[in-house]
Each structure stands twice: as C-alpha cells, then as structure tokens.
Amino acid sequence: MGAIYGTQQSQGAARYLVKAPAAGFVVEKTVNPRTQLRSDNDQPMFVISDLNTVWALASVYEDDISRVQPGTPAVVKTLAYPNEPVEGKIDPAFSALDPDSRVLTVRVPLQNPGNKLKPEMFATVTVSAPTGTSKLSVPSSALVFERSRSYVLVFKDREHIETRNVETTGTAGGYTYLNGGVEPGERVISRNALLLFHTLNQ
C-alpha cells in the first residue's frame, strides 16, 4: 500500500508502514501529506475495492418506474468504451427514490474483466422491458399540451392536417406512448407543432 510519514518536520519524524488486508484498488483516500495521525481516530485511511465486479447507478424518472423492475436486463455503455457494451440486470436489492427530484436510483452489477470499468465513470444505461403488448408511439416533440389535454397534428397532405386528441401512457428515449388517437402508419408533425397547432385552431 505504501508508506505514510509523520507530520513533524524533523529528521526524527516517525515512519509508518501500512499494509492492506487484501489485494485490490484504492478507491478512496482520507489522508494527505502532513496529515496528523492519532491513535484515537478510527477513520480508515484508505478504502480498497475489488473491481472484478462493479455497480452502475442509473436514474429512473417516476413515470418510467413501472417498466424498470428488479431483474430487468440492462446494457451499459461508458464514454470511455462506447463500442464495448456490458450487459447486466437491475439489482433487486437496491433502489432509492429521491424525495426532491422524484427520481429512482437503481443499481446494475457488472462483471469487469480486465478492470476497464473505473469508479465514477459516466455511462448510459439502456433497459429492455418487454411488456408483451405493442403500443403506438410518436416523437415527444410532436405533442402539444393545451388546457390539460394532449394533441398531435396528423399530416395527410399540405391541405389537410388534422388535430387529434390523444391519451399518453408514458415516455422513453424521446418518444411518447399513446393509447389511441392515431393509427399505425399515420404521419405526425414533430417540428414547430405548437406554432402550427395555434395557427390551425385559432
């Protein structure tokens, strides 16, 4: 682990050899040069971790919690290794909802051969949650909210654009799922939808 030196600036300063109880990587350090070491301080000087298995922490918005269940498959891609995705599953033993942001933090244990994954890396977690049913979805930018209702603009041709009231059931990856209102294959307007909505519905 290395040597820690005493804090006195003299040739007689004490020198202490600290041995790690197990092999691993230093993931936290609480001492610095000239730190005074006291016998009554039981705070650990270093924290060692075995990086053969690491955890990816992901934030899940409240309206998506029902689709992210323990055991749900997940794929993790890091900024450092974007072309080397790592597969895992949502840990059933860990979940915490932030009372302020209303975001659920979930944990994905990952095998880490070669110790490429390091603590505090940034990553994207993609969750696959099959529901057994098919749902229609539109780009979230196509939705217009007016008087507590949701609308989309269905493009027939330049002379025919229909305003449809739709019921939303959830969002994921920039898309919003609908419970009716449009048919498969119909085209919706996703650019400047709000401006066009007000123009058509004055």
In terms of DSSP bridges, do strands 73-78 and 86-89 run parallel, antiparallel, or are they unpaired?
A: antiparallel
Q: Cβ of 151: how many Cβ atoms within 10 Å?
A: 20
pLDDT value, residue 157: 87
Task: Enumerate the domain spans of the chain.
Answer: 1-49, 53-127, 136-200
The domain defined by 136-200 folds into: 2.40.420
CATH superfamily of 53-127: Efflux pump adaptor protein, beta barrel domain (2.40.30.170)
pLDDT value, residue 119: 84
Answer whether residue 24 shows pLDDT above 90: no
Six token digits for residue 202: 């004055």
Task: Note the pLDDT tens digit of each residue in 73-99.
Answer: 889 999 889 899 999 998 876 667 778
pLDDT value, residue 94: 66
Q: Cβ of 123: how many Cβ atoms within 10 Å?
A: 19
Answer whether residue 4 shows pLDDT above 80: no
Name the more confident of 122 and 158: 122
d(CA 50, CA 183): 52
Residue 181: closest CA among 150, 139, 146, 144: 150
Supply the Cα-derived Rg of the chain in whole angstroms.
Answer: 27
Name the more confident of 142 and 173: 142
